[in-house]
Amino acid sequence: MLMGLKVLESENENKQIENLRSPTCSYIITRKKRGFGITMDSEDEVNGKRVPFSNRPEWADIKPVPQDDGPNPVVMIDYKHEFVETMDYFRAVYLAGERTPRSLDLTREAISLNPGNYTVWQFRRLILEHLNVDLHDELQFMDQIATKNPKNYQIWHHRRWIAEKIGVGAAQKELEFTRTTFSQDAKNYHAWSHRQWVLLNLGGWEDELSYCDELLNDDICNNSAWNQRFFVVTKSPLLGGLDVVRDSEVMFSIKAILAKPGNESPWRYLRGLYQNNAKSLVDDPRVASVCIEGLLGGSQYVHALNLILDALVHQFRPNNDLKGAIEAVYSSLDLPDLATDSELAVRVCCILEKVDPIRASYWQWRKTTIPSQAL
C-alpha cells in the first residue's frame, strides 16, 4: 500500500502505482483533462539550489531514457520535474551498466527522492563493489537516510549487506545504531530483526542480556524486549543454553508477573522457558504459587487462569490452596453452581467467559474441548 495515498479510484490504478512506494513522498490523486494523474511532492529536497543534470558538464555525454508507461497508461503519474530528470538519467546509466563515481552520486540523488526504489539500491551495491568504496563511509550515509526512513525495507537490507561485507568490525556500530533507533521506537521490527542478525552473524553478545534488563526496567510491558530476552537466553553462546539459565529466568519472569499481573508478556515468557514441556511446567511449584498470587491479587487474573487451564488439560493436579483461590474468584462473580469441585477446568472456563468477554466464544469452545481427565 502506498504511504500517504489520499484516494484510489480503482484497482487498476493501484496496480499501476504499487511499485512507486516511498515513505518520504506524499501522493495526491488529481483530475486532469486526459484522465487521472498522481502528483508526487518529495519532502527530501536537495540542499541548496539544484543544478539540473542537463546543465551539468559531466553528464553532457548521457542521453536520458524516459519512463515507458506503455501506449495507453491508466494512471498518469504527475512527477516533479526533478524526479523525472533524475530517473531518466538513472535509467540511462543503469541500462549502460555504467559503474562510475558519477553513477554512484546519481543513485544517492535518486534515493533521496525515493528511498524505497529497490532497483536503485541494487545498482548502488554493484557500483560500490566495482569501485571498492570504503563501506564505513557508506554506513555514515545510511545513518543519515535511515533517520528519516526508519521502517524502509530497502534501507535495512542495504545496511545488512554493508555490515556483512565489513564483518565483525561492524558489530558494535550496528548494535549502537539499533539502540538509537529503539530510543525513538522501541518496537521497530526492522531494527530488532537487524540486531538479531548482527548478534548471530557478527557477535556482540556480551552485554545483550543487560540491555534487555535496561529496556524492561524502563517499560515492563515492552513485548519486543521480552522477545529479545528469550532470543538471548536461547541463542547466546555465552550463557550456556536454556537449561543453565532457566531457574534464574523463571524467577525473573515471576517477579515481573507479580509487579504487573495484567501484562501478558512475562506469562508467555514463563511458558517459553519450558519450551512446550507441559510436564516440567506443571511440576514446578513456583508456577502454582504465582497463579495463586495472581488470583488473589486483584482483578487482573485472565493470564493466570489461562495458564491454569492449560495446565489442567495436561493433567496438572492443583493443591488445595489453588483450588480455594479459583473457588473464591468463581463465587465472587455470581456464577451458577456446578455439581462438584471436580469440574475445575469447567469452572475456570466459566470465569474466563465472564471476565474476558471479548474472547467469550473462545472460552466457550475451550470448555467443549476439555479432556475427561481434566474435569
Which residues are catalytic, by number? 151
Rounded to whole angstroms, the Cα distance separating 148 from 252 reads 37
Distance separating the N- and C-terminal Cα atoms of the chain: 49
Nearest to 196 by CA among 224, 215, 219, 223: 224
155-187 exposure pattern, b = at least 16 Cβ within 10 A, e = fewer: bbebbbbbbeebeeebbebbbebbeebbeeebe
Residues 6+ apart with CB under 8 A from 246: 273, 274
Rounded to whole angstroms, the Cα distance separating 206 from 236 reads 9
Name the strands in the sheet holding 35-42, side by side, starting at the edge strand that comes first in the sequence.
25-32, 35-42, 75-78
CA distances from 73 to 17, 32, 124 (A): 11, 14, 29
In sequence order, the β-bridge partners of residue 30 are: 37
Rounded to whole angstroms, the Cα distance separating 319 from 309 reads 14
Residue 364 C-beta-side C-alpha neighbours within 13 Å:
6
Q: Can you read off the three cell numbers belonging to residue 232?
A: 538471548
**Helix, strand, coil percentages for the chain (3-state, nearest 5):** 65, 5, 30
Biggest distance spanned by C-alpha atoms of the chain:
92
